[in-house]
């Protein structure tokens, strides 16, 4: 067997960590300012938690993507393919419905889906997820959309495009699904296999297909927005009005649908040009019936998830990552046996305030300087018999080549001044 990461999974290498931290810092700041608090849930749950939330007419495409297994006690468990179900399970389990509404919860971490792997589509990937629970007003939908936009801006992205639409109330959805069945049934044979399956279970999802053959069939057909009843239409208009008020740029997308069938009314996505065909950075919507169907109180909710890998890809495109320098300010080189423990002790002391590294065995000056250089150190500090006599370190600035002797007692202050 080959020692390599499983297809569709990635290591986050040391040099990539700063970008991840920057993303999460932006999330924490933006969502925290809006009163959202962080909730972490386990990576796996009883399978029913996800099966139930995916819905009766569960899209087989979604079901097949789940990593489900039996543990040693014979329990059926699933690695989370999305955040919402687990977050709501925790919300109900901990009685959070007694907290003042709205309850705003954000989460971040890995998700697992057995997908066809391509750029921007992986089997282990990460999301940041937000839920706003307890508000049915359009104001909450607009706040959710604004927060997604604002969070992406805070990550340093300037080319984000928000798309907003509506899948309507359950009756509107049913009418639209009936319309699609009527129109598409005669054209079944021309649809992709996945779309034929969706046509049977949840026709609206055919609109989500990226297959070219499906696009041709769908051309000219009406979109969910054409089937909105009065209440859903008024709700959408109100959401759009708030977004205009708050200067959140958006386009109306008449054909927007969400993957799972618990969504109703508002649906939205954030897109980005320049990260390949998988251009959605995030998406969300309103899901008023879901908490009740999971055994909780009848609370409305709206939320979104954004894909961290895609956001990082976009951050790289815009060179939005402000990586702090990843190098020691000082690399100490012992020139003789006695100096090995001396420089180690010195490093331990200086690390209270500075990044200091050292060689672990005596080096000659040439090799020692090369070691320091390979680590990108700002200064190399040599210590041997002559430095010991004056209790000093001989410092060399590796950029300019300039040399100075600094007394050990003064070293901490010296580093303070140069860092
Ligand atoms: P979803 O949970 O499917 O609504 O996806 C929300 C966001 O997560 C998408 O807009 C993507 O940015 C990201 N995403 C979804 N699936 C994947 C995947 N397989 N690999 C990487 N990112 C993904």
Q: pLDDT (tens digit, 9 = 90+) per residue, 156-171?
A: 999 999 999 999 998 9
What pLDDT band is residue 4 in, cutting at 50, 70 and 90?
very high
Contact 280 CB / ligand 1 (< 6 Å): yes
- Is 220 or 59 the better-scoring residue by pLDDT? 220
- Is 238 or 116 the better-scoring residue by pLDDT? 238
pLDDT at residue 38, as a whole number: 98
Cα 100 to middle of ligand 1, angstroms: 31
Collapse the DSSP code of 80 into the 3-class scheme (helix H, G, I; strand E, B; otherwise coil) and give the result.
coil
Which region among 138-152, 320-334, 341-355 has the lowest average model confidence (pLDDT)? Answer: 320-334
| Residue 57 pLDDT > 60 | no
Contact 313 CB / ligand 1 (< 6 Å): no
Q: In this structure, what token pair is assigned to residue 159?
A: 């080319």
* Average pLDDT over all residues of the chain: 92
Contact 388 CB / ligand 1 (< 6 Å): no
Contact 127 CB / ligand 1 (< 6 Å): yes
CATH topology of domain 14-168+228-317: BirA Bifunctional Protein; domain 2 (3.30.930)
- Cite the DSSP H helix spans in 331-406: 337-350, 365-374, 385-389
Phi-psi category of 35—alpha, beta or left, where left has phi over 0 and alpha has psi -120 to 50? left
Contact 156 CB / ligand 1 (< 6 Å): no
DSSP code, position 227: G
Contact 284 CB / ligand 1 (< 6 Å): no
Contact 110 CB / ligand 1 (< 6 Å): no
- Ordered by start, the domain boundaries in the chain are 14-168+228-317, 330-418
Reply yes or no on domain 330-418 having CATH 1.20.5.50.
no
CB atoms near residue 159 (< 10 Å): 12
| Residue 319 pLDDT > 90 | no
List Cα–Cα distances, 43 to 105, 185, 331, in angstroms: 17, 40, 41
CA-closest candidate to residue 52, choices 297, 292, 283, 259: 292
Q: Which of 83, 160, 287, 305 to mutate to test the pocket of ligand 1 (most atoms within 8 A of CB)?
A: 305
Three-class HEC string of 240-263: HHHHHHCCCCEEECCCCCCCCCCC
pLDDT at residue 123, as a whole number: 96
Contact 62 CB / ligand 1 (< 6 Å): no
pLDDT at residue 191, as a whole number: 87
Cα 238 to middle of ligand 1, angstroms: 27
pLDDT at residue 198, as a whole number: 84
Strands of 301-307's sheet in order across: 37-38, 103-112, 124-133, 301-307, 280-286, 264-272, 160-166, 250-252
CA-closest candidate to residue 282, choices 147, 154, 134: 147
Ligand 1 atom with minimal separation from the 121 CA = 20
pLDDT at residue 211, as a whole number: 79
pLDDT at residue 62, as a whole number: 62
Which residue's CA is the nearest one to ligand 1's atom 14? 307
């Amino acid at each position: 067997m080959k020692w390599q990461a499983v297809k569709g999974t990635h290591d986050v290498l040391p040099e990539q960590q700063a970008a991840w931290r920057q993303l999460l810092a932006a999330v924490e700041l933006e969502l925290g300012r809006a009163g959202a608090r962080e909730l972490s849930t386990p990576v796996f749950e009883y399978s029913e938690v996800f099966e139930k939330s995916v819905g009766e007419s569960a899209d087989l495409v979604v079901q097949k993507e789940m990593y489900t297994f039996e543990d040693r006690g014979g329990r059926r468990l699933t690695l989370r393919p999305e955040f919402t179900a687990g977050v709501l399970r925790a919300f109900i389990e901990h009685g959070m419905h007694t907290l003042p509404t709205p309850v705003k919860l954000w989460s971040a971490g890995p998700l697992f889906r057995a997908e066809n792997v391509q750029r921007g589509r992986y089997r282990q990937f990460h999301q940041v997820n937000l839920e706003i629970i307890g508000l049915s007003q359009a104001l909450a939908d607009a706040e959710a959309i604004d927060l997604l936009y604002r969070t992406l801006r805070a990550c340093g992205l300037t080319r984000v495009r928000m798309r907003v639409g509506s899948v309507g109330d359950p009756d509107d959805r049913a009418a639209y699904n009936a319309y699609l069945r009527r129109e598409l049934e005669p054209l079944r044979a021309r649809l992709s296999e996945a779309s034929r399956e969706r046509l049977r279970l949840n026709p609206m999802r055919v609109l989500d297909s990226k297959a070219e053959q499906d696009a041709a069939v769908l051309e000219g057909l009406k979109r969910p927005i054409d089937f909105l009843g009065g209440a859903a239409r008024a709700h959408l208009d109100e959401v759009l009005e708030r977004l205009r008020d708050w200067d959140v740029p958006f386009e109306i997308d008449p054909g927007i649908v969400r993957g799972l069938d618990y969504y109703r009314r508002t649906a939205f996505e954030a897109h980005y040009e320049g990260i390949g065909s998988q251009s959605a950075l995030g998406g969300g919507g309103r899901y008023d019936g879901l908490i009740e169907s999971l055994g909780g109180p009848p609370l409305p909710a709206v939320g979104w998830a954004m894909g961290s890998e895609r956001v990082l890809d976009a951050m790289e495109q815009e060179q939005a990552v402000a990586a702090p320098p990843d190098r020691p300010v000082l690399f100490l080189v012992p020139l003789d046996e006695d100096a090995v423990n001396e420089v180690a002790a010195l490093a331990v002391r200086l690390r209270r305030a500075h990044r200091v590294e050292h060689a672990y065995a005596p080096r000659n000056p040439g090799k020692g300087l090369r070691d320091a250089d390979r680590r990108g150190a700002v200064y190399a500090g040599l210590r041997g018999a002559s430095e010991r006599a004056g209790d000093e370190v001989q410092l060399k600035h590796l950029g300019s080549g300039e040399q100075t002797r600094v007394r050990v007692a003064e070293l901490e202050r010296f580093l303070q001044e140069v860092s």
